[in-house]
């Protein structure tokens, strides 16, 4: 398959470059900037993109790629720090400048192949403190801003381009078009990355594995799609296991069993494990520790089941690309944001091979696959739910009281969103509770109760998210119901932090 390879220099936006290129039906893959020229050439990329990053090119410790990559004759696009890498490599000069952060007006000086079809100017998102003072011989300026005279440069002869702004973020107008211009028009990559092709390729690959597969399902779209793809590939060699760990949404264990029994012909076994999970979490407050405890306990349940009902060779999971990136185990140098139980939480003693068909997909791509496979619309549009469950939506120790508050208040949030026609308009919605308490008045008496926080966000791929501006009357209904219907809740607040700097889940 034709592809664009993105070299990751540590930018928080590196993954978004891949995501936007895939929007043009071209496959994009993220690798470390440390990849050698020989290793990169073996991937047979049609084009190469250097991501942004926090470093300054003139520092001794600045990350730099294998210089031979510049001589491969493959088109290159540098973004932000990648732009400065190109300038430095070809003999230009990068200097410290006044920081330019936020939306700027990009004046297009020359509508070359990279910026063709974009008009005379556009809004572009800047995030840099360095700039190219002198561009290399053979390059020309094709775009500038008031603060950055070399915001876009090009050597059309060698097909090497540098842009100081970030086309991958939504704040840049028509940024996806710029990336498409590079991938399709300059690199001539075929637009063959479709979810139908992915299904066919994945099923074919899985059909060639040996041994039986034990698939962990949660009732969510990721694990359900995973199980159906594997079933198409190996049929009766698949066995599904659903673990009721007591950390699910209100009545979710019943809904999941009904769904699998009525909608899918999957071989499913339910394991009741609420007490063992909650006992392991007793007294634990640190969110990373909770995630790892839950991940290891899941594996213990799976291993015990496999030993009694096997033999099994594989453990399948619905791991997605954002899980891999945030857990710090992707091919790039990204920092660990939080350990996902199904990635960084896997213990060393696991004696099953791990099968993750969706490991390099984003959530919206999985939803496209779900529609192709004919999954019920209710499941396709269902909001994401964290693998560790309510343990990461309960701040501090997981207690029976906080668990009940979290379940009931989240159900109220979802019910009111549905009634108001908002549920399918937002990416994710829930209520979280911690140890904070506040004074309220019930009747004529003073009451000291818990504080519930409502979190509703919009997103495309869960890597970035913005808080949702819900109507105040809808928030009022949620608040009134939560304080009236749930004992020991006196205050309700609404979270208005976006990602970044916050994450979607509280822990």
- Give the active site residues: 80, 166, 168
Q: Which two tokens stand for residue 352?
A: 């099953």
Rounded CA separation 461/15 (Å): 10
Q: Edge-to-edge strands of the sheet including 3-8? A: 27-32, 3-8, 47-50, 76-79, 160-163, 152-155, 140-144, 93-108, 121-134
- In Å, what is the CA distance from 346 to each residue of 244, 279, 297, 320, 472? 19, 20, 10, 15, 42
Q: Which two tokens stand for residue 482?
A: 């939560």
DSSP calls for 34-77: T--HHHHHHT--SEEEE---SS-TTSTT-----GGGGGS---EE
Helix (H) or strand (E) holding 174: none
Q: Which two tokens stand for residue 65?
A: 């790629």
Rounded CA separation 62/105 (Å): 29
Query: For helices 363-372 and 221-234, what crossing angle results, to 10°?
Result: 50
Helices marked H in 353-471: 363-372, 377-380, 400-419
Contacts 24+ apart (CB under 8 A), 367-374: 367/221, 368/195, 369/195, 369/198, 369/199, 369/225, 369/229, 370/221, 370/224, 370/225, 372/195, 372/196, 372/199, 373/199, 373/225, 373/228, 373/229
Number of H helices and E strands in the chain, helices first, is 14, 18
**Is-contact 256 221, C-beta < 8 A?**
no
Q: Specify the DSSP class assigned to residue 150.
A: T
């Amino acid at each position: 398959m034709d592809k664009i390879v993105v070299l990751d220099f540590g930018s928080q936006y590196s993954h978004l470059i891949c995501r936007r290129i895939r929007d043009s039906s071209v496959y994009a893959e993220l690798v470390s900037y440390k990849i050698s020229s020989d290793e990169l050439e073996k991937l047979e990329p049609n084009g190469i993109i250097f991501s942004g990053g926090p470093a300054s090119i003139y520092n001794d410790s600045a990350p730099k790629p294998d210089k031979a990559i510049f001589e491969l004759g493959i088109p290159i696009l540098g973004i932000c720090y990648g732009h400065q890498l190109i300038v430095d490599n070809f003999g230009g000069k990068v200097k410290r400048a006044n920081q330019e952060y936020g939306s700027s007006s990009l004046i297009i000086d020359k509508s070359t192949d990279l910026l063709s079809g974009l008009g005379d100017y556009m809004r572009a998102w800047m995030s840099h403190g360095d700039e190219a003072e002198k561009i290399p011989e053979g390059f020309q300026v094709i775009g500038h801003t008031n603060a950055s005279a070399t915001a876009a440069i090009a050597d059309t002869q060698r097909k090497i381009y540098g842009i100081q702004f970030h086309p991958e973020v939504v704040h840049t107008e028509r940024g996806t078009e710029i990336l498409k211009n590079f991938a399709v028009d300059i690199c001539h990559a075929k637009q063959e990355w479709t979810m139908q092709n992915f299904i066919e390729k994945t099923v074919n690959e899985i059909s060639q594995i040996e041994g039986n597969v034990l698939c962990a399902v949660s009732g969510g779209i990721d694990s359900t799609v995973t199980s159906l793809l594997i079933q198409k590939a190996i049929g009766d060699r698949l066995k599904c296991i659903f673990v009721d760990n007591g950390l699910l949404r209100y009545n979710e264990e019943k809904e999941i069993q009904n769904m699998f029994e009525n909608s899918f012909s999957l071989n499913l076994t339910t394991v009741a494990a609420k007490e063992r999970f909650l006992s392991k979490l007793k007294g634990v407050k640190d969110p990373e520790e909770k995630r790892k405890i839950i991940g290891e306990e899941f594996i213990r349940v799976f291993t015990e089941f496999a030993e009694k009902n096997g033999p099994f060779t594989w453990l399948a999971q619905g791991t997605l690309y954002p899980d891999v990136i945030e857990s710090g185990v992707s091919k790039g140098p990204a920092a660990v944001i939080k350990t996902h139980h199904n990635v960084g939480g896997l213990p060393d003693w696991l004696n099953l091979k791990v099968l993750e068909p969706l490991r390099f997909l984003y959530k919206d791509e999985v939803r496209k696959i779900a529609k192709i496979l004919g999954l019920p619309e209710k499941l396709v549009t269902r909001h994401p739910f964290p693998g560790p469950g309510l343990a990461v939506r309960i701040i501090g120790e997981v207690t029976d009281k906080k668990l009940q508050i979290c379940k009931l208040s989240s159900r109220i949030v979802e019910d009111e969103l549905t009634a108001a026609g908002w549920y399918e308009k937002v990416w994710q919605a829930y209520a979280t509770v911690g140890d904070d308490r506040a004074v309220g008045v019930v009747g004529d008496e003073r009451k000291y109760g818990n504080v519930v926080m409502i979190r509703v966000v919009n997103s495309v791929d869960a890597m970035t998210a913005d808080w949702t501006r819900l109507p105040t009357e809808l928030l009022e209904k949620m608040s009134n119901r939560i304080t009236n219907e749930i004992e020991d809740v006196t205050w309700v607040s609404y979270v208005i932090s976006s990602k970044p700097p916050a994450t979607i889940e509280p822990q």
